[in-house]
């Protein structure tokens, strides 16, 4: 049985400018200790404009906090105004990049082929994609949430090699639980996360499935994180709103104490 290091990632979304980012990461760095970093991988996902400042701070003070971006271009370079390539993120020493977040799917019409291309672009630049999947409320109410989410996994991983998939992070984020205060019950989250792992095993074999980290995302807070993390197929959380409060995010990292 593979031991998977939990990953707590704070997706800041479109919040905190570069000065606020520095103050926020300094606060996290001051609060987190070696024991925290040994037990949990901690990452922040700031807006693009903050990344250079975060890199300078992390490098300069040799912090153990990892960081990454919230999106990347499917293209390697060229005339794509406004886009940021995987190579640019890698140059800033990003470790992670979220791909296919529901807000990208909803507001920027990202479909499965594009998400698939972005997963490949991330791997091509040695970034670890955090692939976001999950259903809208109507889909859950119709009882189609597992099938819907697995179809997103299939589409996103089309023609992606097994050795890459074993390093992947998949974040299950039921859309109706994002930023709404409605958390998916821990058992309900486990149902889908377990199904995702089983699907990865079907596609790539058990060893790869055992290595993949699966996060839950959607209104995670210090008050519900322990229950969520107690599930066998949940290896971390993708935290939105609560990650903007450094004290709260540190409590989430210390989920075993909650």
Ligand X SMILES: O=C[C@H](O)COP(=O)(O)O
Residue-level length of the chain: 258
Q: Is 185 annotated as a binding residue?
A: no
- Which position among 19, 108, 179, 202 is part of the footprint of ligand X (CB under 6 A)? 179
- Residues with Cβ within 8 Å of 99's Cβ and at least 6 positions away in sequence, in order, are 71, 72, 115, 118, 119, 122, 129, 130, 131, 132, 156
d(CA 220, CA 37): 20
When CB distances to ligand X are compared, the closest residue is 240
75 is catalytic: no
- Residue nearer to ligand X on the CB measure, 73 or 215: 215
- Residue nearer to ligand X on the CB measure, 149 or 219: 219
- CB atoms near residue 149 (< 10 Å): 24
Stretch that binds ligand X, among 47-55, 88-96, 152-160, 238-246 (CB under 6 A): 238-246
Establish if 241 lies at the interface with ligand X (CB under 6 A).
yes
Q: Is 241 annotated as a binding residue?
A: yes
Q: Is 12 annotated as a binding residue?
A: yes
d(CA 126, CA 72): 13
Establish if 68 lies at the interface with ligand X (CB under 6 A).
no
Q: Is 155 annotated as a binding residue?
A: no
Q: Is 219 annotated as a binding residue?
A: yes
Establish if 135 lies at the interface with ligand X (CB under 6 A).
no
Q: Which of 41, 103, 135, 173 is catalytic?
A: 173
Residue 218 gets the label, from left (phi > 0), alpha (psi -120 to 50) or beta, of left
Bridge pairing between strands 236-239 and 7-11 = parallel
101 is catalytic: yes
Of 201, 178, 204, 200, nearest to 189 by C-alpha is 178
- Which position among 220, 225, 246, 252 is part of the footprint of ligand X (CB under 6 A)? 220
Q: Write out the catalytic residue numbers.
A: 101, 173
Binding-site residue positions for substrate: 11-13, 179, 219, 240-241
Residue numbers at the binding site for ligand X (CB under 6 A) = 11, 101, 173, 178-179, 217-220, 238-242
């Amino acid at each position: 049985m593979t031991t998977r290091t939990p990953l707590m990632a704070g997706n800041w979304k479109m919040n905190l400018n570069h000065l606020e980012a520095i103050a926020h990461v300094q606060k996290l760095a001051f609060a987190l200790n070696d024991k925290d970093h040994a037990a949990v991988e901690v990452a922040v996902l700031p807006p693009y404009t903050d990344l250079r400042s975060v890199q300078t701070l992390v490098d300069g003070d040799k912090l153990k906090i990892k960081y990454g971006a919230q999106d990347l271009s499917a293209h390697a370079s060229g005339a794509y105004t406004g886009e940021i390539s995987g190579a640019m993120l890698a140059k800033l020493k990003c470790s992670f990049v979220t791909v296919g977040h529901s807000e990208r799917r909803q507001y920027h019409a990202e479909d499965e082929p594009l998400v698939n291309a972005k997963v490949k672009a991330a791997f091509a630049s040695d970034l670890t994609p955090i692939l976001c999947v999950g259903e809208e409320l109507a889909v859950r109410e119709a009882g189609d949430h597992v099938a819907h989410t697995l179809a997103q996994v299939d589409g996103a991983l089309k023609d992606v090699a097994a050795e890459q998939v074993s390093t992947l992070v998949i974040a299950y984020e039921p859309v109706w639980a994002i930023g709404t205060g409605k958390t998916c019950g821990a058992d309900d989250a486990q149902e889908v996360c377990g199904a995702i792992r089983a699907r990865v095993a079907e596609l790539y074999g058990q060893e790869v499935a055992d290595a993949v980290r699966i996060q839950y995302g959607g209104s995670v807070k210090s008050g519900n994180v322990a229950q969520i993390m107690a599930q066998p197929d949940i290896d971390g959380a993708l935290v939105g709103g609560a990650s903007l409060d450094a004290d709260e995010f540190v409590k989430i990292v210390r989920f075993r104490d909650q």
